[in-house]
Chains A and B, each alone.
Chain A
């Protein structure tokens, strides 16, 4: 058997090996997305079997739908604030986890606890802590009467706190993996030069950590943008839709109202936002790679 024949055969087998995965991905992801786009061009009320093609009618209504724009605003705000706070907390946490100190094992294990708890459970757990009457937080604040989940200014921030609690550990682990990729020699050299620890952090750690940080940002922002579980459990989008994100709005329209046409338009719009976000991040990431 010639080397070329063998290579040809290898390629053929490779296609057979990946074929099932490709098929499955096409069936559960590609086809539904295309189907969602098609549905979004209809007025489709599931209950009454009312279905007719209306072209871009749903999107025309969407462009003037104040509730959509406020959901987009809430989603963007949630994403930016949650991801920022998570990064700000995760970097020191990762630096801490990298050091040797008594109890490091305990801390390492402890940070995995919130990560392992289902989002729904963590939201329930925090909902109880946020309870205005008997919740832990108002107790700790000395019997305050703060309406964490019911007051418009607070509720979205409460949801952000739940997300921060749950996902900071994941971000910290990503950062830690990045930290462990930085050669020890660089730190030794810096110490010999008598650099302060802040300076070392600024001029060695942070620049070398940049790719890991950007990657964490990419993952987390795309993930935060589709937030559903925590908000559904905490507030279902209330009060006054101030915590309603795109996913919540689309879900309610689809499954509560049974309006599959407009609901699909909302989910397609959400998808489009995620794609735009991903493209922007990948550009930034590409530029950072080039800069190195």
Chain B
């Protein structure tokens, strides 16, 4: 029996090793056959592959001598970060252009992993052409380190058949939810993302802004503040008073969407992707959904957390490759590319002008209609330490939302750990 097993194992081994080697050799193959190989590291766009490939091949046509190669990144943001942490820290040169999450730009810039692109993309020009939120995320200390590619923003979904209009204040949201639930018992009020993960942090920052607060003060992440306490008290109150079900403490985007889509909730906080799902043929809430800015304490339209991805250049590649990489970024962030991503992949354009684009208005009216919302989108605290502290914040926010600690205590603990991690305490 052992003898019969050995050849099987040996075969498997050879197969495994071969596939391992083939990938490994990619690194050394810089310019094969006189063509320069330019590598783009990005996350799958989830849609028909055709239009994006066409976009890429148009770049190859315009730049003969360049072979464009795409490589996939892990889908989950924290794992993509882990990938860059381990590869860029190891000075990897096997990719030229990379996508970065909004919250990573200051970190990667400070670490010296992504190149300063200010010459090709001056900050002033970005401010003219792109929405303010994404620009704030990619310009670090007056220098451009990345160019916005597509964005996401937290928005409020509401049921047009259950409430008279979108709520503008927190009090209104609670009242509308209560009234709808009195008419229709068994209905949930407001579903959002309360699980211990980055989505919760987005919800918390939105509530913080909604209470007139800021998370940064003079370069320091400052959380032990009155608006932060009010924000956590409000989120906890939603659960304690039954406006939100107790289960939201386990919800990420999809759990919330499923409840809302089954018609079991009046309000939902989510990203724009949920719209297409709600409008599907067999959706019970098709045609009964509206979107609006998140409510605030005083009725001013609220800001949604900015999500989405930017394109940056690996700082370890040679100057010639960097110039090519910049060209590729210019191509992929052009108005045409913005339109392709919006029409075929439902990615929201970061360019302001696109929201007035007639073809977009016609082909993707929902996206074009998001203008008011994306203009208000705000990045989470812009600090090189974001990733270092986000884990601490998630756990303390989670404790406060779940009612395990008072908001005061959670924030005190969060502040202490943040100060320790960022070196403020020393």
Q: Do A and B come from one complex?
A: yes
CB pair A150–B413 under 8 Å, yes or no, is: no
A257 surroundings in chain B (CB, below 8 A): 387-389, 391, 421
Residues of A within 8 A of B196 (CB): 235-241
B399 neighbours in A (Cβ, 8 Å): 240-241
User: B105-150: which residues lie under 8 A (CB-CB) from chain A?
Assistant: 107, 110-111
Query: Which interface residue of B89, B250, B384, B423 has the most chain A CB atoms within 10 A?
Result: B250
Whole-angstrom distance between the Cβ of B407 and the nearest chain A Cβ: 13
Interface size range of chain A in the complex: 35 or more
Size class of the B contact interface (CB-based, 8 Å): 35 or more
Write the A123-164 contact mask toward B (1 if CB under 8 angstroms, else 0).
Answer: 000000000111000000000010111111001000000000
A145 touches B398 (CB 8 A): no
Cβ of B395 < 8 Å from any Cβ of A?
yes
B323 within 8 A of A: no
Residues of B contacting A46 with CB < 8 Å? 85, 89
Looking at chain A's contact residues, the main secondary structure is loop
Known: A66-B413, A133-B259, A145-B245. A259 touches B388 (CB 8 A): yes
Is the beta-carbon distance between B391 and A133 smaller than 8 angstroms? no
Q: Which residues of A contact B398 (CB under 8 A)?
A: 238-241
The answer to whether residues A149 and B250 also contact, given A240-B399, A241-B399 and a CB cut-off of 8 A, is: yes
Chain B: minimal CB distance from A243 (Å): 9
**Docked CA distance A23–B401 (Å):** 51
B78 within 8 A of A: yes
Which residues of B lie under 8 Å from residue A43 when comparing CB positions?
A: 423
Contact A151 B249 (CB under 8 A): yes
Expressed in whole angstroms, the minimum distance between the Cβ of A131 and any Cβ of chain B is 8
Looking at A77-85, A202-210, A248-256, the stretch in contact with chain B turns out to be A248-256
Instruction: List the A side residues contacting B423 at CB < 8 Å.
Output: 43
- A147 adjacent to B195 (CB under 8 Å): no
**Looking at the complex, which one of B89, B255, B389, B390 makes contact with A132 (CB distance below 8 Å)?**
B255
A-side contacts of B89, CB under 8 Å = 46-47, 49
Contact of B246 among A49, A147, A241, A258 (CB under 8 A): A147
Report if A264 contacts B (CB, 8 A): no
Residues on A with C-beta less than 8 A from B395 are: 67, 237-238, 240-241, 244
The docked-state distance in angstroms from the alpha carbon of A259 to that of B395 is 17
A33 to B194, CA, bound (A): 37
Given A45-B388, A236-B197, A151:B413 Cβ within 8 A: no
Confirm or deny: B404 has a beta carbon within 8 angstroms of a beta carbon on chain A.
yes
CB distance B78 to A256 under 8 Å? yes
Q: Whole-angstrom distance from the CB of B159 to the nearest CB of chain A?
A: 18
| A61 contacts across to B, CB distance below 8 A | 420
| A242 located at the interface, meaning its Cβ lies under 8 Å from any Cβ of chain B in the complex | yes
| Nearest CB on A from B80, distance (A) | 12
Report chain B residues within 8 Å CB of A147.
246-247, 249-250
Interface residues of B in 366-385 (CB under 8 A from A): 384
A80 to B380, CA, bound (A): 40
B247:A258 contact, CB within 8 angstroms: no
Closest B residue to A45 by beta carbon equals B388
B195 contacts A150, C-beta separation under 8 Å? yes
Contact A48 B246 (CB under 8 A): no
Closest-CB distance, A94 to chain B (whole angstroms) = 27
Q: Are A256 and B258 in contact (CB under 8 A)?
A: no
| Residues from chain A with Cβ under 8 Å of B111 in the complex | 47-49
Q: Which residues of B contact A67 (CB under 8 A)?
A: 392, 395, 417
Given A147-B249, A150-B251, A238-B196, 12 more contacts at CB 8 Å?
Answer: A45-B388, A46-B89, A67-B417, A132-B255, A134-B258, A240-B249, A240-B402, A241-B395, A252-B391, A256-B78, A257-B387, A258-B85
Those 4 A-B pairs whose CB atoms lie nearest each other, nearest first: A150-B250, A238-B196, A240-B399, A147-B247
7 cross-chain CB contacts under 8 A: A132-B247, A134-B258, A148-B250, A237-B196, A238-B250, A240-B196, A242-B404
